[in-house]
Amino acid sequence: MRVLLLEDDPRIGANIAGALELAGFVVDCERDGEIGWYRGDTEAYDAIILDLGLPTLDGLTLLKRWRKAGIFTPVLILTARGNWDERVEGIDAGADDYLAKPFRLEELTARLRALIRRSVGHASALISVADLTLDTRQMRLSVGGMPVSLTPQEYRLVAYLMHHQGRVVAQTELVEHLYHQDFDRESNSIEVLVGRVRKKLGSDVIQTRRGYGYIIGGEAA
Amino acid sequence: MTPIALRLRLLAVSAVSITLALIVAGLGISSLFASHIETDVQSGLQDEMNRLIALLDVNTDPVSLSQPMPDPRFLKPYGGLYWQINDPATGPIQWSRSVWDTPITLTVPMPPAGQLIETNLVDPEGAQALGLVRKLLFERADGTTRTLDLIVAEDRSELDAAIAAFRFDLLRALAILAIALIAASWLQVTVGLYPLAAIRRGINAIRAGTVRRLDGSFPSEVVPLVNEVNELLDTQETSISFARARAADLAHGLKTALTVLSTQTDALHRSGQHEVARSIEDINQSMAATIDHQLALARLRHRSRSIRYSAPVLPSVERVMSAVRRTPQGALHRWTVAIDRSINIDLDPADLVELLGAVLENAANWANGAVSISATRSDLTVTITVDDDGPGVADDALTTLGQRGKRLDETHGGSGLGLAIVAEIAALNSGSVVFKRSNLGGLRVCLQLPAAA
């Protein structure tokens, strides 16, 4: 899952990014409002964490611009001001959740996971496809009730495909959501990754739609 | 000094000066009048004296008048007009009939021969009189001379009565004039001070919060004062804004530092130091809540009852509810709202959002699955009731809820400041908050606030 983090304080940014990466997210950090807006506008993210007090372009304006431009990526706003007027204004501007500073990273991670799940239509922290069950809180995958050991990258691949179950996900989309932006997009790392996961879960769990991409939970080709 | 005191001062000064001026004028006019009519009487007496001299026959013995003095008053006993001839050696020798049997006694020394003196006398009736006295040396037909003292006198009573009547009329006229002048000066003071009264009304309006500055056109003498007042207001406004901005900056700075600290506890958790991490997190939360509370208090303006609001309750409830429902706790519950769209309250809309935010967040944090919000309006009061189906609060603890820093359950999140802010906002707006047991099983928060007119 790829997340855009817009936070002007470098220490907070680094701490959040560190925790989110440990939790299996790919995190892009920006400290400037204008640049943040541009990245949110042009790149595909699963969620955006937006601090309202950004330099050059404040968070609320930026959020309204995205929504006006038809960018409906789930947004979690962070605010140092505890007043409700600002929180409500944030929600009115199109935010999906808010968190008042200071917060616990655990809380932020949980909120972010819930946000991403809700955005793709899953209400529960457990996502199931056939006999696969993904526990997004514990970052565990089990097959028929038996836990399967996955590397972080393998987990991200399965989690992304299970969040978007029943939909063909293009290889480029997977690269965008599983790797940092400076990743070499021409490499065959996705194919290698899919091959490794198939070895652990069975060859028919992730199906290939040749020329389109990969799918979990689709009808047999 | 207030304009009223200034007006009294001006009125007192003008009343005193008008009265003094009229007293002086009255005395002057009265004295002029008295002197004028005395001169008139003196002139009449002078004529009588000349007539007496002309009619006097010194060749007879005793001396006599060649014919009676024409004025009938000389003939009537105590008639008011008198003549008398004294021999310097023997005293009165001839007198008018009016003198009757009590000749006039002179109390002044006689003038040298030929001279005339004017004097006050006691007339035969015993009353005050104006007199002329003249000593004359007459030459008789036989060539001898005879010195005689001639006296003519007129009773003053008529003169005094005329002067008194004049003074009475004068007093009435001057009293009317004084009243008219004082009324005119009251009018002048009122018109003159009108701009100050306008300033007073303006300042009252500023105090009441209906206007921010003294506006309008004022006379050039008052403009500097108005400008000073406006500059003072601007300075005050700037100072308050500056202080609020500094408070907000301070809060932002502290929150940022607390956030850094709070995000670093994650590393402590990962290294297994959960106790230290949790203790830092607790301190962090409590500091953040204190900052929020103080900042919220700094934001609350002193509410003036002259500003009336009409904040619709339902849209504010819906907005705040939609925000709370985005939180993980809020998302789990079933929210029921029963509020008539026509209910408006007399409360700053921002304060209403703050108040609802704290109450609904509290309900979301404690509810098991249901939160219900309703509002009813009586004549002057709107009651907003928020119920949850959570564990509720023991009856004896209900009264301590809403007191600053009271946390009934230390294990649950929060600082106890949210409901304290609710109580403070309600109190500032002539409202109140009461905590009860809910029929859903949990807590019921009843907010009573003034209804919009």
Span A151-188, pLDDT tens digits: 888 888 998 998 888 889 988 888 888 887 777 766 78
pLDDT score recorded for residue B115 = 83
For residue A116, the chain B residues in CB contact (below 8 A) are none
pLDDT score recorded for residue B302 = 54
Q: B252 and chain A: CB distance < 8 Å anywhere?
A: yes
The pairing of strands B381-388 and B443-450 is antiparallel
For residue B296, the chain A residues in CB contact (below 8 A) are 82-83
Q: Which strand ranges, in their side-by-side order, compose the sheet holding A146-148?
A: A126-129, A132-135, A140-143, A146-148
The residue behind tokens 């023997």 is: B90
| Cα radius of gyration rounded to whole Å, chain A | 18
State how far residue A56 is from chain B, nearest Cα, in angstroms. Answer: 17
Closest CA to A64 of A32, A40, A45: A40
- Picking from A80, A81, A96, the nearest residue to B326 by CB comes out as A96
For residue B292, the chain A residues in CB contact (below 8 A) are 82-83, 100
**Interhelix angle A59-68/A33-42, nearest 10 degrees:** 20
Fill in the amino acid letter for A130.
A
For residue A58, the chain B residues in CB contact (below 8 A) are none
pTM for the structure as a whole:
0.62
In this structure, the number of other CB atoms found within 10 A of the CB of residue B428 comes to: 16
CB contact under 8 A, B319 and A105: no
**Separation of alpha carbons A48 and A40, rounded Å:** 8
In this structure, the number of other CB atoms found within 10 A of the CB of residue B202 comes to: 19
pLDDT in tens, B57-113: 988 888 889 999 999 999 999 888 999 999 888 889 999 999 888 888 888 888 888
Tally of residues, chain A: 221
- ipTM score of the complex? 0.71
pLDDT score recorded for residue B380 = 87
Which residues face B388 on adjacent strands? B371
Task: Name the range with the highest mean pLDDT among A73-82, B323-332, B366-375.
Answer: B366-375
Residue of B nearest to A17 (CA): B263
- Picking from A15, A84, A102, the nearest residue to B288 by CB comes out as A102
pLDDT in tens, B263-280: 888 888 888 898 998 898
pLDDT score recorded for residue B221 = 84
3-state class percentages of chain B: helix first, strand second, coil last, to nearest 5: 50, 20, 30
Mean pLDDT for chain B overall? 86
State how far residue A84 is from chain B, nearest Cα, in angstroms. Answer: 5
**Separation of alpha carbons B159 and B305, rounded Å:** 73
pLDDT band at B3 (very low <50, low <70, confident <90, very high): low
Closest CA to A148 of A132, A136, A127: A132
What is the DSSP secondary structure assignment for residue B370, as one 8-state letter?
E
CA distances from B186 to A58, B22, B23, B189, B220 (A): 62, 17, 20, 5, 22
Q: Does the pLDDT value for residue A55 go beyond 80?
A: yes
Mean pLDDT for chain A overall? 87
**Are residues A51 and A26 in contact, defined by beta-carbon separation less than 8 angstroms?**
no
Q: Is B436 exposed, middle or buried (0-12, 13-18, 19+ CB in 10 A)?
A: middle
pLDDT score recorded for residue B247 = 84
State how far residue A154 is from chain B, nearest Cα, in angstroms. Answer: 22
Dihedral (CA of A130, A135, A139, A145) sign: negative
pLDDT score recorded for residue B410 = 45
Mean pLDDT of A135-163: 87
Q: Which two tokens stand for residue A68?
A: 């006006």
pLDDT score recorded for residue B415 = 46
- Picking from B258, B322, B358, the nearest residue to A91 by CB comes out as B322
- 3-class DSSP state of B91: strand
Higher pLDDT, A207 or B248: A207
Q: B86 and chain A: CB distance < 8 Å anywhere?
A: no
pLDDT band at B208 (very low <50, low <70, confident <90, very high): low
Q: Which two tokens stand for residue B288?
A: 């953040």
Q: Does the pLDDT value for residue B411 go beyond 50?
A: no
- Picking from A15, A98, A100, the nearest residue to B326 by CB comes out as A98
pLDDT score recorded for residue B303 = 53
The residue behind tokens 């179950």 is: A165
State percent of chain B over pLDDT 70: 93
* Start-to-end C-alpha separation, chain A: 26
Half-sphere exposure of B354 (CA within 13 A, CB side): 24
**Interhelix angle A105-119/B223-270, nearest 10 degrees:** 90
pLDDT score recorded for residue B306 = 52
In this structure, the number of other CB atoms found within 10 A of the CB of residue B27 comes to: 12
pLDDT band at A123 (very low <50, low <70, confident <90, very high): low
For residue A19, the chain B residues in CB contact (below 8 A) are 263, 266
pLDDT in tens, B363-390: 998 999 999 999 999 888 999 999 999 8
pLDDT score recorded for residue B413 = 47
